[in-house]
Amino acid sequence: MEILGAGALVVGGASGLGQATARALLARGAHVLIADLDADRGAALAAELGERAGFAATDVTRADEVEAAVAAAAALTPGGLRIAVHCAGIGYAERLARPRGAHRLESFEKVVAVNLIGTFNALRLASHAMLANEPDAAGERGVCIITASIAAYDGQVGQIAYAASKGGVVAMTLPAARDLAESGIRVNAIAPGLFDTPLLAALPAEAREQLAASIPFPPRLGRPAEFADLACHIVANEMLNGEVIRLDGALRMAPR
């Protein structure tokens, strides 16, 4: 899929991995609609990026708000929405059972609602919009990229909700790709490891250094731009379909 001139949607695009992806797509010539819950940060980023960027305040658990963001992205160019990248997600640390009580059901439901159902919500609506596109010379109508995590495979103590939600993202990647194959729409997932995002920025410096040292090579936290570069490569490489790609420096997380 050609990025230059394409209409793109980046859900969760106001910060972290999503912001880096929005910047990378824009730098390669795309028209980018940033969808995010943080209206102030998202609008400021769109203003900074210029006339080929827009913003839509979006709660991924609300079908009407995601549908509006998809429609706005599709209207950016005559060719419609061609690229959709979903980066929105949350996580809480909570154990399954402790002497003081069981894992709260409401926190598990919240993580699954945002990370899994929110991903599905954006994927279903973005791919539906892509059906209206004219296929390019290779027969493609669009590319969808969703964000899993290595926690789907190596979930740590306290990550049961997060790991379950990301495991669901992993599991739906291949059937989604198969569902959309005859329409010329590809679906892939990226499973990042430890990345230097606002979530990890809140940790003390010593904790961040310990996390970085646990990565075999390179022994540092991943850079959001590296996630963005992979997303752009997936868009450009039409043979990548139905894949979940670990981006983790060969890290396999210990139990804690």
Tell me the per-residue pLDDT of 136-178, one tens digit each, with 9 for 90 and over.
999 999 999 999 999 999 999 999 999 999 999 999 999 999 9
Rounded Cα distance, 176 and 240, in Å? 13
Residue 171 falls within a domain, yes or no?
yes
Q: What is the pTM of this model?
A: 0.96
pLDDT at 181: 98
Tell me the per-residue pLDDT of 156-166, one tens digit each, with 9 for 90 and over.
999 999 999 99
Q: Reply yes or no on whether the pLDDT at 198 is more than 90.
A: no
Residue 183 falls within a domain, yes or no?
yes
Residue 219 falls within a domain, yes or no?
no
Q: Reply yes or no on whether the pLDDT at 203 is more than 80.
A: no
Rounded Cα distance, 145 and 186, in Å? 8
The pLDDT-based confidence of 200 (bands split at 50, 70, 90) is confident
Number of independent structural domains in the chain: 1
Domain that holds residue 48: 7-197+224-247
Q: Reply yes or no on whether the pLDDT at 240 is more than 80.
A: yes
CATH number reported for the structural domain that contains residue 102 in this entry? 3.40.50.720
SS3 216: coil
Residue 211 falls within a domain, yes or no?
no
Q: Which residues pair with 195 in a beta bridge?
A: 222
Residue 256 falls within a domain, yes or no?
no
Tell me the per-residue pLDDT of 85-112, one tens digit each, with 9 for 90 and over.
999 999 989 999 999 999 999 999 999 9
Rounded Cα distance, 232 and 32, in Å? 13
Residue 106 falls within a domain, yes or no?
yes
Catalytic residues: 162
Residue 30 falls within a domain, yes or no?
yes
**Number of helices and strands in the chain (H, E):** 10, 9
Q: Reply yes or no on whether the pLDDT at 199 is more than 90.
A: no
Rounded Cα distance, 161 and 112, in Å? 7
8 Å CB contact between 19 and 13: yes
Nearest residue to 36 (alpha-carbon basis) of 52, 21, 51: 21
8 Å CB contact between 204 and 135: no
Residue 25 falls within a domain, yes or no?
yes
